[in-house]
Amino acid sequence: MLLFDLVNARKAHFSPNTWRVRMALAHKGIDFTVQDVRFVDIAGIRPQGDSIGHKLTIPTIQNDGMWVTDSWEIVHYLDDAFADTPRLINTGADESVLRFFQYWAQTTLHSGIFRNIVLDLYLGLDPADQPYFRDSREKILHDTLENAQAGRQDRMDAFRKSLQPMRLALANGPFICGNQPGYADYLAFGAFQWARVASPLQLLAHDDVVSTWLNRCLDLYDGMGRRESAAVDDLLDDSMR
Ligand SMILES: N[C@@H](CCC(=O)N[C@@H](CS)C(=O)NCC(=O)O)C(=O)O
């Protein structure tokens, strides 16, 4: 199992969509190797015979000659190809509700976080990635990265309020999926891990149950998430040198 994942200049893995898949692989107990790529390398990743037929995005996996791109497709593939491991996406209504949760994560979480860390993301990238990232993201934002990120402290209250559905869910159990973590937890975790790895911004108040949940997720699978160093730890290390 080979997982293609993005790295920044300090070789930290920051992609929110890949973190979903990393957690899914760990949940299933599937060992994997990681091939680090930068944004500028993605176009050069080509399956033999071009079996995917469209542009790859990260995450992409290669297993047993099979290439799969897109986190949702990858988790479906893992559920089918490793049928004796715990299933993450059940078919029927459960799948539709999970898909709805993914839409919520992409809109409320990813969009809410993106603007607040976009300049930090850029500054952390390998210099070879910076022109592409600036150009493509400024087109999406219709603004410079600097303007987009400015004033983020003023947006913090609104972002924290938007997490209320998570707080309500976490009143029922330690994880969004109940007593045990499941794919909804990994969808949300990916977003917070993205911010943690790429930016020193403190997104969550320490006394927020979402922060307690995030720490619980960081501890899962022998602290797999926590082993990826946070941007703030990196900055502290720098200032101590
Ligand atoms: N829906 C896709 C989204 C994947 C995606 O957009 N990945 C980003 C990195 S997190 C990417 O590959 N971007 C390539 C680019 O911006 O050129 C998934 O969940 O896998």
Q: What is the pLDDT along the chain (241 residues), one digit of tens a residue?
A: 999 999 999 999 999 999 999 999 999 999 999 999 999 999 998 876 666 667 799 999 999 999 999 999 999 999 999 999 999 999 999 999 999 999 999 999 999 999 999 999 999 999 999 999 999 999 999 999 999 999 999 999 999 999 999 999 999 999 999 999 999 999 999 999 999 999 999 999 999 999 999 999 999 999 999 999 999 876 655 544 3
Residues with CB under 6 A from ligand 1: 6, 15-17, 39, 42, 57-59, 70-71, 136
For the domain 2-81, what is the CATH code?
3.40.30.10
**Residues spanned by CATH 1.20.1050.10 within the chain?**
93-240
Nearest CA to 158 out of 117, 214, 189, 112 is that of: 112
Q: Which of 19, 42, 45, 58 to mutate to test the pocket of ligand 1 (most atoms within 8 A of CB)?
A: 58
3-state secondary structure at position 59: coil
Domain spanning 93-240 has what CATH number?
1.20.1050.10
Closest residue CA from atom 17 of ligand 1: 39
pTM of the model: 0.95
First to last CA, the chain: 38
Task: Give CATH 3.40.30.10 domain extents, the chain.
Answer: 2-81
Cα-to-centroid distance, 57 and ligand 1 (Å): 5
**Environment class of 125 (CB within 10 Å of its CB; exposed 0-12, middle 13-18, buried 19+):** buried
Atom of ligand 1 nearest to the CA of 74: 20
